[in-house]
Amino acid sequence: MRAGLLSGSGFPFGIGPRGFGFRPSRRRPAAWTIAEGRVRRRLIGTAAALILGATTAETQGLSLYGLPGLVDMPTARAMEDGSLALTAGGFGGTLRNTLAFQVTPRLTGSFRYARIRGYDFDGAQDRFDRSFDLQFQLASERGPGPAVALGLRDFGGTGIYSSEYLVATKTFGSFELTAGLGWGRLAERDPLGAPLGLLSDRLATRPDARAGGIEQTGRLDAGSWFRGNASAFGGLAWEPSERWRIVAEYSPDLYRLETDRGLVDVRSPVNLGASYRWDNGIALGAYAVQSTDLGLRLSYGLHPARPPRPGGAEPAPPPLLPSPAGGPATLMQGLEAQGIGLEAIEIDGALAEVRIENRRWPVTAQAVGRTARALGNTLPEGVERLRIVFTESGMPMSAVSMDRQAFAEMEFSPEGGARLREHVALDDAWREFDAEPRFTYGLGPYAALSTFDPDAPLRADVGLQLDAAHRLGSGLSVAGRLRQPLAGSLDESDRVSDSRLPHVRSDSARYDRSAGLELTRLTADYLYRPGPDLFGRVSAGYLERMFGGLSAELLWYPVEGPLALGAEVNYARQRGFDLGTGFRDYDVWTGHASAYYDLGLGYRAQLDAGRYLAGDWGATLSLDRDFGNGFSVGAFLTLTDVAPEDFGEGSFDKGIRLEIPVSWITGVPTRSRIRQTIRPVLRDGGARLNLGNRLYEITRPVRGRALTEGWGRAYR
């Protein structure tokens, strides 16, 4: 996130062959940058308070595993569709930290990071374990029938918690009854035999998911699911009020891995507990586990579609004046006050075409509304048609055309935004124009995190970051970033990569040990439009923290279509560990063909196939869910021709990614976003360049669903 931009003001105007027109000069008002600076100053001080003060998502019925359940046992319930839940729960020497997401109304997924004290080397070392869970609700509770769900616990992890289950839950007034059948770890006490062994002798036995050592972890191990013995489990929950929940369960989990190491003393199959929920989404639970330990759980739930400040703190839009007033200077100042940069305007008879850069509004339709107001208040009365062209780095992206009078008439309509969409025409606006040079810069703090290192699960650095960009003309720019660490612990890691592949990512700790001035990125970039619905990019220089080189990309993306196709080719050379200007000996050609598809209902899929930084060939599949306000949650996995034993711990690259708009936290409109990728382990297989200006991410806010939806905010 850039720390701020500063500039001057002023512009010339005149009469051209197509009539009245003007272009901004290199100097421009700083009003919008002042507002962005306020966002950044407020963010650090208010983010935690705003989130914790929000009315968010339900967290009452979560277990110590962070998913719908009792104490340890699951239920067939699902969380609220689209909600997120963060849980820290455990007992004795075990602490489980879980991020759960309700992917669809029936599918729940989670990532867990657990610490088991004294698990390894005869109690001399703690185990930090990473795992994924999935639960699918086969049937919801309707009439006399219960809710039924099928679940996988700790698939794609080390197998410590590996188990599967079939569970049913039924509500009777304020009581909730659960009964289920579990395999794996959930079949250690009083097994009932192998129920699926009746179908095949192969299903009567269960292979050890932990066989093969650490290098075999991370595999899906589908061949062991629902195999071998099964045991029954169940429990009862009572909710005497909306805030209290009291639970009791029968658990077949004997904690054999822990008891064999003397970490747990299991005396009873019965677990008891109670939890209390506050209005801000926080729930606290206390449990008696195995009759020997006290368990605690703290959960916090949020929903991406419900920000902490629903009304926001955005300024009210300027009123539409009965008669236009002012001229070019008034128009430019009015747009700048709304966080919209004016690139150029041309008036040809009854048509006015304005080229803008949206610098503030996360929802494109809201930027359209603010621009249309400024135009309506300043353009001559003879202008009847408005055409608003969105640009990025001087490159035209998409155009929105509307009738000026229709926009004014629907301002106070209860469904004005939805009605306006019916009167709006969308087109490609692919023809380039001459953009004025512009220099921007920003200086501010940064924080860098390193997670999941077994020696220190969380390390961090803080320091100063300088961003600068100089737009030389239409689509051509030079941009860079410098960082100076001031304090932190990233340089304390002494881990040495044991990877059998070229160390394209696993040597990241060696880059972290550079405590001096870091040249994070310095590139020359050219963005251009080769033709209708086509976008091009060429980048050269220090492309990212660990690699420099040359990158070229081409994207086909229709204005309103759900499908986009792209191709990218890169020559990359590994940078020196000191993050200066030097390079190491390793270089590689990489490239991918990509397909992006909007699945509807907020879901989008992406498939990238090609060659990765370590020279391996394969494909990455990603699935993201967007919430129409810039907030998105996604997951990805990469499979290449690298064998699991050569990849190392984790077996293949996979992870979760979050994109949180700053405006969601603060309520102040800004396009700045917090992006975070969570990988269980960072290895060399399936690694791509970390480019910050890939074309799909640049164009997506003004193409496809992002352009055709969200029109309810056009008058806000």
Mean per-residue pLDDT over the chain, rounded: 88
Verify that 394 and 443 share a domain, yes or no.
Answer: no
pLDDT digits (tens, 9 = 90+) for 271-287: 999 999 998 889 999 99
- Look at residue 161 and tell me if it is in a domain: yes
pTM, 2 dp: 0.89
pLDDT at 355 over 60: yes
> What residues make up the domain containing 414?
13-48+326-435
Nearest residue to 102 via CA among 282, 305, 310: 305
pLDDT digits (tens, 9 = 90+) for 578-610: 999 999 999 999 999 999 999 999 999 999 999
pLDDT at position 416, please?
A: 75
- Look at residue 67 and tell me if it is in a domain: no
pLDDT at position 7, please?
A: 29
Beta strands 107-120 and 340-348 are unpaired
pLDDT digits (tens, 9 = 90+) for 82-140: 999 999 999 989 999 999 999 999 999 999 999 999 888 777 789 999 999 999 999 99
pLDDT digits (tens, 9 = 90+) for 690-700: 998 999 999 99
pLDDT at position 492, please?
A: 85
What is the C-alpha separation between 555 and 688, in angstroms, rounded? 18
Q: For the chain, what is the domain count?
A: 3
Higher pLDDT, 542 or 494: 542
pLDDT at 573 over 90: yes
Long-range contact pairs involving 99-106 (C-beta distance under 8 Å, separation at least 24) = 99/66, 99/656, 99/678, 100/62, 100/66, 100/67, 100/133, 101/633, 102/78, 103/625, 105/78, 105/81, 105/137, 106/78, 106/136, 106/137, 106/138, 106/140
**What CATH number has the domain bearing residue 549?**
2.40.160
Q: What are phi and psi of 36, to 5 degrees?
A: -65, -40
pLDDT at 481 over 50: yes
Verify that 425 and 442 share a domain, yes or no.
Answer: no
Verify that 538 and 515 share a domain, yes or no.
Answer: yes
Confidence class of residue 252 from pLDDT cuts 50, 70 and 90?
Answer: very high
pLDDT at 11 over 60: no
What is the C-alpha separation between 154 and 159, in angstroms, rounded? 6
Average pLDDT over residues 38-54: 43
What is the C-alpha separation between 552 and 570, in angstroms, rounded? 6
Verify that 330 and 231 share a domain, yes or no.
Answer: no
Verify that 293 and 384 share a domain, yes or no.
Answer: no
Verify that 426 and 496 share a domain, yes or no.
Answer: no
Verify that 19 and 94 share a domain, yes or no.
Answer: no
pLDDT at position 78, please?
A: 97
Length of the chain: 716
Average pLDDT over residues 323-338: 88
Verify that 179 and 98 share a domain, yes or no.
Answer: yes
Which of 6-20, 319-333, 609-623 bottoms out in mean pLDDT, i.e. has the lowest?
6-20
pLDDT digits (tens, 9 = 90+) for 409-420: 888 887 877 788
Buried b (16+ CB within 10 A) or exposed e, 175-184: ebebbbbbbb
pLDDT at position 315, please?
A: 84
DSSP string, 102-133: E-SSSEEEEEEEEEEEEEETTTTEEEEEEEEE
Task: Tell how far CA 251 is from the center of its chain.
Answer: 35
Of the chain, the percentage scoring pLDDT greater than 90 comes to 67
Contact 275, 298 (CB under 8 A): no
- Look at residue 263 and tell me if it is in a domain: yes
Confidence class of residue 258 from pLDDT cuts 50, 70 and 90?
Answer: very high
Rg (CA), the chain: 28
Q: Which amino acid is at 378?
A: T
pLDDT at 527 over 80: yes
Nearest residue to 183 via CA among 146, 154, 215: 154
Contact 702, 558 (CB under 8 A): no
Verify that 408 and 474 share a domain, yes or no.
Answer: no
Confidence class of residue 324 from pLDDT cuts 50, 70 and 90?
Answer: confident
pLDDT at 2 over 50: no
| Helix, coil or strand: residue 491 | helix
CA distances from 714 to 96, 419, 592, 613 (A): 44, 10, 37, 43
Verify that 381 and 458 share a domain, yes or no.
Answer: no
- Look at residue 557 and tell me if it is in a domain: yes
pLDDT at 36 over 70: no
